[in-house]
Amino acid sequence: MDATGAPSRAAKELPSRSTPAQSEQQNAAGDAAGAPCSAAAQGACQPASPASGTSEQSGSQDRSNEGRRRGRRRRRRNQQPAEGPVYGALDLGTNNCRLLVACPSAEGFRVIDAFSRIVRLGEGASASGKLSEPAMGRTIEALKVCTGKMARRNVTRFRLIATEACRTAENGAEFIDRVHQTTGLRLEVVDRETEARLAVAGSASLIAPDCGRSLVFDIGGGSTELMLLENADGDHQLHDWTSLPVGVVTLAERHGGVEVGRATFDGMMEDVRPAISDFLNRAAFPVEEGLGCHMLGTSGTVTTIAGVHQNLRRYDRSKVDGSWISRGDINGVTDRLLAMTYEQRADNPCIGPDRADLVLAGCAILCTMLQQWPCERVRVADRGLREGILTELMTEDGTFGRGPRSRRRRSRGLYGGARAPRTDAANR
């Protein structure tokens, strides 16, 4: 992508899903895509000029220069071409635009780049039936960033999906065309069954081995997917699933998300209870003693609750992903959030201003699930659709788990021991 925001030659024609036959051609195009940083960025990377002053100031300057040198070395390592094929997975939802870039590793795959931005594509669409111009503009700007990252990383295999907002909006198809014309990306609008399957594929490794029955959920911005899995000789098989046409954005817009008292919160729960109850009754999949039943949540709601419960000073994926939280602790966090003002929720480092008006809508959906399927523990997954896409693409190619072994000592499962990019509540 050049300085004007136009897509580079390498990214001009990216279909929603690549095939192995396209890899060689795309890789050759990607080799020419690396763009130098701007003059301002280059200047920021230069060591500061020596300055006169006290020895204390000199020591501080030395530490600053060393920090810059470490930063440059780290950036050079990150910019080195990956060994073997490079894969990309993009998930454009009602609330977020997310990208992962990864290459196969012996433990699964290794993430080499990532991007996440809250764009609120579906803002107001539940009432108007259309994607608004400001929302589409914000989203296209985020997608331009994704285009540049994929080009710089020489991504050769990818899948680029869009979910509920583009599925239901009257102008969803028009927006998809506009994205292609503006960014070069061809987004694939997936159905709800595909969305549910990918969520399971990306997170099922966190289901406890001794768990007989599990409820996997993905509380999105415009929809909520529920997947019931049963353990059959160590293989967690899908028993039933559903997709509810309500998420944190639609529920908050319907009931209000800024000033949320107990009455408003109870109204949210009543809103989603019939659909959740109908599904669980139909599936006839009760929580039973001795089966080690638990829930597995893969969404911003459950990761936010976990971060608040742990009193993190900054959201830390390594402390949240794979952690456990009890039913009582979820209720306790919900009570804490209900007692806060909107400003207090926005100031919480695990929530932030972009989620402050949505988090209680997510809590209402989760608390309703826990009433209807009353297990005592929930496992938290800071992973989902993108990881599911990467897993499926690499499995199709026979490259999943076949890359070089990570040099890091501690493995993080699918991520092959790689440290996930630092993130916070603003862009998670």
CATH of the domain at 99: 3.30.420.40
Instruction: Report if residue 39 sits inside a domain.
Output: no
- Residue 34 pLDDT more than 50? no
Q: What is the mean pLDDT of residues 362-377?
A: 95
Which phi and psi angles does 189 have, rounded to 5°? -80, 110
For the chain, counts of helices (H) and of strands (E): 16, 11
Residue of 108, 193, 110, 99 lying closest to 149 (CA atoms): 99
Cβ neighbours of residue 152 closer than 8 Å, sequence gap 6 or more: 30, 33, 34, 35, 79
Same structural domain, 183 and 317: no
Q: Provide the whole-model pTM.
A: 0.77
**What's the pLDDT band for 234 if we cut at 50, 70, 90?**
confident
pLDDT of the residue at 408: 46
Which phi and psi angles does 81 have, rounded to 5°? -65, 140
Same structural domain, 259 and 322: yes
Instruction: Report if residue 3 sits inside a domain.
Output: no
Same structural domain, 101 and 233: no
Same structural domain, 131 and 221: no
Q: Nearest 5 degrees, angle CA 100-CA 103-CA 108?
A: 95
**What's the pLDDT band for 73 if we cut at 50, 70, 90?**
low
Dihedral, 215, 91, 381, 286 alpha carbons, nearest 10: 0
Q: What is the mean pLDDT of residues 310-314?
A: 96
pLDDT of the residue at 158: 97
Instruction: Report if residue 260 sits inside a domain.
Output: yes
**What's the pLDDT band for 1 if we cut at 50, 70, 90?**
very low
Q: Which stretch of 265-269, 279-283, 367-371, 389-393 has the lowest confidence by average pLDDT?
A: 279-283
Same structural domain, 155 and 299: no
Computed on alpha carbons and rounded to an integer, the radius of gyration of the chain in Å comes to 22
- Residue 3 pLDDT more than 80? no
DSSP state letter for 6? P
Number of separate domains in the chain: 2
Is residue 186 within 8 A of residue 15, CB to CB? The reply is yes
Same structural domain, 300 and 222: yes
**What's the pLDDT band for 364 if we cut at 50, 70, 90?**
very high
Question: Under the phi-then-psi rule, with left for phi > 0, alpha for psi from -120 to 50, and beta for the rest, what region is 292?
Answer: left
Which residues make beta-bridge pairs with 295?
215, 378
- Residue 79 pLDDT more than 60? no
Same structural domain, 259 and 347: yes
CATH of the domain at 364: 3.30.420.150
Range of the domain at 270: 206-380
Q: Do the strands 87-92 and 324-326 form a parallel or antiparallel pair, or are they unpaired?
A: unpaired
Instruction: Report if residue 107 sits inside a domain.
Output: yes
Instruction: Report if residue 242 sits inside a domain.
Output: yes
DSSP state letter for 268? H
Q: What is the mean pLDDT of the chain?
A: 82
DSSP state letter for 185? B
Q: Nearest 5 degrees, angle CA 291-CA 210-CA 401?
A: 145
Same structural domain, 236 and 353: yes
Same structural domain, 179 and 231: no
pLDDT of the residue at 284: 85
- Residue 282 pLDDT more than 70? yes
pLDDT of the residue at 292: 83
Same structural domain, 96 and 212: no
pLDDT of the residue at 82: 61
- Residue 296 pLDDT more than 60? yes
Same structural domain, 168 and 230: no
Burial track 112-139 (b if 16+ CB lie within 10 A, e otherwise): bbbbbbbbbbbbebbeeebbbeebbebb
Q: Nearest 5 degrees, angle CA 202-CA 98-CA 253?
A: 100
Name the amino acid, one letter, at 84: G
Instruction: Report if residue 226 sits inside a domain.
Output: yes
Which phi and psi angles does 278 have, rounded to 5°? -60, -45
Name the amino acid, one letter, at 338: L
Instruction: Report if residue 64 sits inside a domain.
Output: no
Strand ranges across the sheet with 188-189: 108-118, 96-105, 87-92, 157-162, 188-189
pLDDT of the residue at 210: 87
Same structural domain, 17 and 108: yes
Neighbour count for residue 106 (Cβ, 10 Å): 15
Instruction: Report if residue 23 sits inside a domain.
Output: yes
Residue of 168, 212, 179, 144 lying closest to 2 (CA atoms): 144
Largest CA distance in the chain: 76
Which residues make beta-bridge pairs with 219?
224
**DSSP result, 392-408:** HHHHHHT-TT-SPPPSS
